[in-house]
Amino acid sequence: MRVLVTGSRGYLGRSIVGQLVEAGHEVVPFAGDVRTADIPSSDGVIHLAALARVRESFEDPLSYYDVNVTGTLRLLKSGAPRFVFASTAGVYGTPRGHVLTEEHPRVPTNPYAATKAAAEDALAWTARTGALSAATLRLFNLAGGGDRDETRVVTRACAVAAGRLPSMEVYGDGSAVRDFVHVADAARAFVLALEHRAPGHEAYNVGATPASVADVLAAVHRVTGVPVTADHRPAHPGETREMRADTTKLRALGWRPVESDLDSLVGSQWAAEGPHRTA
Protein backbone atom coordinates (compact mmCIF):
# COMPACT_ATOMS: atom_id res chain seq x y z
CA MET A 1 0.00 0.00 0.00
CA ARG A 2 1.23 3.50 -0.84
CA VAL A 3 0.85 5.46 2.42
CA LEU A 4 1.12 9.22 2.81
CA VAL A 5 2.35 10.14 6.30
CA THR A 6 2.18 13.70 7.58
CA GLY A 7 4.44 14.48 10.52
CA SER A 8 6.68 11.63 9.42
CA ARG A 9 9.79 13.19 10.98
CA GLY A 10 8.20 13.62 14.40
CA TYR A 11 8.42 11.48 17.51
CA LEU A 12 5.48 9.24 16.64
CA GLY A 13 5.92 9.61 12.89
CA ARG A 14 9.40 8.09 12.85
CA SER A 15 8.15 5.00 14.63
CA ILE A 16 5.13 4.65 12.33
CA VAL A 17 7.28 5.00 9.20
CA GLY A 18 9.63 2.28 10.43
CA GLN A 19 6.77 -0.10 11.10
CA LEU A 20 5.07 0.65 7.76
CA VAL A 21 8.29 -0.16 5.91
CA GLU A 22 8.74 -3.33 7.94
CA ALA A 23 5.20 -4.35 6.99
CA GLY A 24 6.00 -3.90 3.30
CA HIS A 25 4.20 -0.63 2.63
CA GLU A 26 5.55 2.18 0.47
CA VAL A 27 5.84 5.32 2.59
CA VAL A 28 5.38 8.78 1.08
CA PRO A 29 6.57 11.35 3.65
CA PHE A 30 4.56 14.55 3.34
CA ALA A 31 6.73 17.60 2.76
CA GLY A 32 5.59 21.14 3.37
CA ASP A 33 2.66 22.92 4.92
CA VAL A 34 -0.54 20.86 5.03
CA ARG A 35 -2.50 24.02 4.24
CA THR A 36 -0.73 24.82 0.99
CA ALA A 37 1.62 22.08 -0.28
CA ASP A 38 0.66 19.71 -3.08
CA ILE A 39 -0.75 16.44 -1.77
CA PRO A 40 0.60 13.30 -3.48
CA SER A 41 -1.80 10.53 -4.44
CA SER A 42 -1.89 7.55 -2.10
CA ASP A 43 -3.82 4.46 -1.10
CA GLY A 44 -4.02 5.68 2.48
CA VAL A 45 -3.20 8.64 4.72
CA ILE A 46 -1.86 8.67 8.27
CA HIS A 47 -2.30 12.25 9.46
CA LEU A 48 -0.11 13.22 12.41
CA ALA A 49 1.01 16.78 11.59
CA ALA A 50 -0.54 19.40 13.88
CA LEU A 51 0.08 22.29 16.20
CA ALA A 52 -0.07 20.62 19.59
CA ARG A 53 0.73 22.97 22.49
CA VAL A 54 -2.22 23.47 24.81
CA ARG A 55 -1.03 26.73 26.38
CA GLU A 56 -0.01 28.15 23.03
CA SER A 57 -3.43 27.30 21.61
CA PHE A 58 -5.07 29.71 24.05
CA GLU A 59 -2.83 32.50 22.78
CA ASP A 60 -3.37 31.83 19.08
CA PRO A 61 -6.51 29.75 18.53
CA LEU A 62 -6.96 30.87 14.92
CA SER A 63 -3.62 29.41 13.89
CA TYR A 64 -4.58 26.14 15.56
CA TYR A 65 -7.86 25.98 13.66
CA ASP A 66 -6.10 26.94 10.44
CA VAL A 67 -3.46 24.22 10.65
CA ASN A 68 -5.29 21.45 12.46
CA VAL A 69 -8.69 21.73 10.82
CA THR A 70 -7.96 23.29 7.42
CA GLY A 71 -5.00 20.97 6.93
CA THR A 72 -7.16 17.94 7.67
CA LEU A 73 -9.84 19.10 5.22
CA ARG A 74 -7.27 19.44 2.43
CA LEU A 75 -6.01 15.91 3.05
CA LEU A 76 -9.55 14.55 3.05
CA LYS A 77 -10.07 16.12 -0.37
CA SER A 78 -7.07 14.20 -1.73
CA GLY A 79 -9.30 11.19 -2.36
CA ALA A 80 -7.31 8.53 -0.52
CA PRO A 81 -9.65 5.61 0.29
CA ARG A 82 -8.17 5.04 3.78
CA PHE A 83 -7.48 7.67 6.43
CA VAL A 84 -6.12 7.36 9.97
CA PHE A 85 -6.15 10.50 12.10
CA ALA A 86 -4.12 11.22 15.24
CA SER A 87 -6.35 12.80 17.86
CA THR A 88 -5.99 13.25 21.61
CA ALA A 89 -7.61 12.10 24.83
CA GLY A 90 -7.91 15.83 25.46
CA VAL A 91 -11.17 15.78 23.50
CA TYR A 92 -12.76 14.22 26.62
CA GLY A 93 -11.99 17.36 28.63
CA THR A 94 -11.91 16.83 32.39
CA PRO A 95 -14.20 13.84 32.81
CA ARG A 96 -15.60 12.67 36.11
CA GLY A 97 -15.44 9.02 35.11
CA HIS A 98 -12.11 7.27 35.59
CA VAL A 99 -12.15 4.77 32.70
CA LEU A 100 -12.99 6.36 29.36
CA THR A 101 -14.61 4.56 26.47
CA GLU A 102 -14.84 6.08 23.02
CA GLU A 103 -18.53 6.79 23.67
CA HIS A 104 -17.71 9.21 26.48
CA PRO A 105 -18.88 12.75 25.63
CA ARG A 106 -16.28 14.98 24.05
CA VAL A 107 -16.00 18.23 26.01
CA PRO A 108 -12.68 19.83 24.98
CA THR A 109 -11.47 22.52 27.37
CA ASN A 110 -8.80 24.17 25.22
CA PRO A 111 -8.49 25.28 21.58
CA TYR A 112 -6.02 22.52 20.72
CA ALA A 113 -8.40 19.75 21.78
CA ALA A 114 -11.32 21.60 20.18
CA THR A 115 -9.52 21.60 16.81
CA LYS A 116 -8.93 17.86 17.11
CA ALA A 117 -12.61 17.28 17.85
CA ALA A 118 -13.58 19.41 14.83
CA ALA A 119 -11.22 17.44 12.58
CA GLU A 120 -12.64 14.18 13.97
CA ASP A 121 -16.11 15.34 12.96
CA ALA A 122 -15.01 16.24 9.44
CA LEU A 123 -13.45 12.80 9.09
CA ALA A 124 -16.51 11.00 10.42
CA TRP A 125 -18.97 12.87 8.21
CA THR A 126 -16.79 12.32 5.13
CA ALA A 127 -16.59 8.59 5.88
CA ARG A 128 -20.35 8.49 6.26
CA THR A 129 -20.70 9.41 2.57
CA GLY A 130 -18.90 6.19 1.68
CA ALA A 131 -15.90 8.10 0.32
CA LEU A 132 -13.37 6.43 2.59
CA SER A 133 -12.63 4.04 5.42
CA ALA A 134 -11.53 6.12 8.42
CA ALA A 135 -10.20 5.73 11.94
CA THR A 136 -9.46 8.24 14.68
CA LEU A 137 -6.88 7.25 17.29
CA ARG A 138 -7.21 9.18 20.53
CA LEU A 139 -3.77 9.14 22.07
CA PHE A 140 -3.34 9.28 25.81
CA ASN A 141 0.24 9.85 27.07
CA LEU A 142 3.01 8.78 24.69
CA ALA A 143 6.32 7.92 26.31
CA GLY A 144 9.64 6.17 25.85
CA GLY A 145 11.82 5.49 22.86
CA GLY A 146 13.84 8.68 22.89
CA ASP A 147 11.14 11.31 23.34
CA ARG A 148 12.53 14.87 23.23
CA ASP A 149 9.51 16.67 24.66
CA GLU A 150 10.46 17.43 28.24
CA THR A 151 6.97 18.61 29.09
CA ARG A 152 6.00 14.93 29.20
CA VAL A 153 6.22 13.24 32.58
CA VAL A 154 8.44 10.24 31.80
CA THR A 155 10.77 12.26 29.57
CA ARG A 156 11.19 15.03 32.12
CA ALA A 157 11.74 12.65 35.02
CA CYS A 158 14.50 10.87 33.08
CA ALA A 159 16.09 14.22 32.20
CA VAL A 160 16.15 15.11 35.90
CA ALA A 161 17.73 11.75 36.75
CA ALA A 162 20.32 12.37 34.04
CA GLY A 163 21.20 15.73 35.56
CA ARG A 164 20.08 17.79 32.57
CA LEU A 165 17.22 19.38 34.51
CA PRO A 166 17.34 20.42 38.16
CA SER A 167 14.04 19.03 39.42
CA MET A 168 10.64 17.59 38.55
CA GLU A 169 7.59 19.77 39.13
CA VAL A 170 4.92 17.75 40.93
CA TYR A 171 1.53 19.36 41.30
CA GLY A 172 -0.36 18.28 44.39
CA ASP A 173 0.68 15.03 46.06
CA GLY A 174 1.59 13.23 42.82
CA SER A 175 -1.32 10.82 43.03
CA ALA A 176 -3.14 11.93 39.87
CA VAL A 177 -3.29 8.99 37.44
CA ARG A 178 -2.73 9.17 33.68
CA ASP A 179 -2.56 6.44 31.04
CA PHE A 180 0.81 5.89 29.35
CA VAL A 181 1.66 4.03 26.16
CA HIS A 182 5.03 3.39 24.50
CA VAL A 183 5.45 5.22 21.22
CA ALA A 184 6.17 1.94 19.41
CA ASP A 185 2.96 0.39 20.71
CA ALA A 186 1.04 3.48 19.59
CA ALA A 187 2.66 3.21 16.16
CA ARG A 188 1.48 -0.40 15.90
CA ALA A 189 -2.05 0.83 16.52
CA PHE A 190 -1.84 3.23 13.57
CA VAL A 191 -0.55 0.58 11.18
CA LEU A 192 -3.22 -1.86 12.36
CA ALA A 193 -5.98 0.74 11.92
CA LEU A 194 -4.74 1.53 8.42
CA GLU A 195 -4.70 -2.12 7.39
CA HIS A 196 -8.12 -2.82 8.89
CA ARG A 197 -10.36 -1.88 5.99
CA ALA A 198 -13.85 -1.21 7.33
CA PRO A 199 -16.60 1.04 6.05
CA GLY A 200 -17.37 4.28 7.87
CA HIS A 201 -15.46 5.77 10.78
CA GLU A 202 -14.40 4.41 14.15
CA ALA A 203 -12.62 6.07 17.08
CA TYR A 204 -10.13 4.11 19.18
CA ASN A 205 -8.47 4.94 22.50
CA VAL A 206 -4.73 4.31 22.62
CA GLY A 207 -3.42 3.82 26.14
CA ALA A 208 -1.87 0.97 28.09
CA THR A 209 -0.52 1.62 31.60
CA PRO A 210 -2.29 3.77 34.18
CA ALA A 211 0.22 5.30 36.60
CA SER A 212 0.52 8.28 38.90
CA VAL A 213 3.32 10.82 38.81
CA ALA A 214 4.57 9.26 42.04
CA ASP A 215 4.59 5.86 40.30
CA VAL A 216 6.65 7.32 37.45
CA LEU A 217 9.20 8.85 39.82
CA ALA A 218 9.50 5.57 41.69
CA ALA A 219 10.03 3.70 38.40
CA VAL A 220 12.73 6.14 37.31
CA HIS A 221 14.52 5.63 40.65
CA ARG A 222 14.13 1.87 40.31
CA VAL A 223 15.43 1.72 36.72
CA THR A 224 18.20 4.32 36.92
CA GLY A 225 19.26 4.04 40.54
CA VAL A 226 18.95 7.82 40.78
CA PRO A 227 16.31 9.48 42.99
CA VAL A 228 14.40 12.21 41.18
CA THR A 229 14.32 15.57 42.95
CA ALA A 230 10.70 16.73 43.15
CA ASP A 231 9.54 20.33 43.39
CA HIS A 232 6.06 20.10 44.92
CA ARG A 233 3.56 22.78 43.92
CA PRO A 234 -0.16 23.30 44.56
CA ALA A 235 -2.48 21.12 42.54
CA HIS A 236 -4.19 22.68 39.52
CA PRO A 237 -7.80 23.62 40.35
CA GLY A 238 -10.25 21.20 38.76
CA GLU A 239 -7.57 18.70 37.74
CA THR A 240 -8.94 15.29 36.82
CA ARG A 241 -7.74 12.78 39.37
CA GLU A 242 -7.71 9.81 37.00
CA MET A 243 -7.82 9.32 33.24
CA ARG A 244 -7.64 5.70 32.10
CA ALA A 245 -8.19 4.46 28.57
CA ASP A 246 -10.64 1.68 27.86
CA THR A 247 -8.94 0.00 24.88
CA THR A 248 -11.46 -2.79 24.33
CA LYS A 249 -12.25 -1.63 20.79
CA LEU A 250 -8.59 -1.41 19.76
CA ARG A 251 -7.81 -4.80 21.29
CA ALA A 252 -10.67 -6.30 19.28
CA LEU A 253 -8.62 -5.47 16.17
CA GLY A 254 -5.78 -7.59 17.55
CA TRP A 255 -3.70 -4.82 19.17
CA ARG A 256 -1.74 -5.60 22.32
CA PRO A 257 0.83 -3.34 24.00
CA VAL A 258 4.17 -5.11 24.29
CA GLU A 259 6.53 -2.34 25.48
CA SER A 260 4.27 -0.23 27.68
CA ASP A 261 4.78 -1.52 31.21
CA LEU A 262 6.14 1.32 33.33
CA ASP A 263 9.68 0.01 33.77
CA SER A 264 10.00 -0.65 30.02
CA LEU A 265 8.79 2.86 29.22
CA VAL A 266 11.29 4.38 31.60
CA GLY A 267 14.07 2.02 30.53
CA SER A 268 13.74 2.88 26.85
CA GLN A 269 13.73 6.60 27.59
CA TRP A 270 16.70 6.26 29.92
CA ALA A 271 18.63 4.30 27.29
CA ALA A 272 18.05 7.18 24.87
CA GLU A 273 19.75 9.56 27.32
CA GLY A 274 22.88 7.54 26.48
CA PRO A 275 26.24 9.27 26.85
CA HIS A 276 24.55 12.62 27.48
CA ARG A 277 23.45 11.66 30.95
CA THR A 278 25.56 12.94 33.79
CA ALA A 279 24.06 10.91 36.62
Residues catalogued as catalytic: 112
247 burial type by CB count under 10 A (0-12 exposed, 13-18 middle, 19+ buried): buried
Cα distance between residue 65 and residue 75, in whole Å: 15
Residue 89 DSSP class: G
Cα distance between residue 3 and residue 25, in whole Å: 7
| Strand intervals (E) in the chain | 2-6, 26-29, 44-47, 82-88, 99-100, 133-139, 141-143, 168-171, 177-182, 200-206, 209-212, 230-233, 244-245
Cα distance between residue 158 and residue 170, in whole Å: 14
Burial 47-62 (b: 16+ CB within 10 A, else e): bbbbbbeeeebeeeee
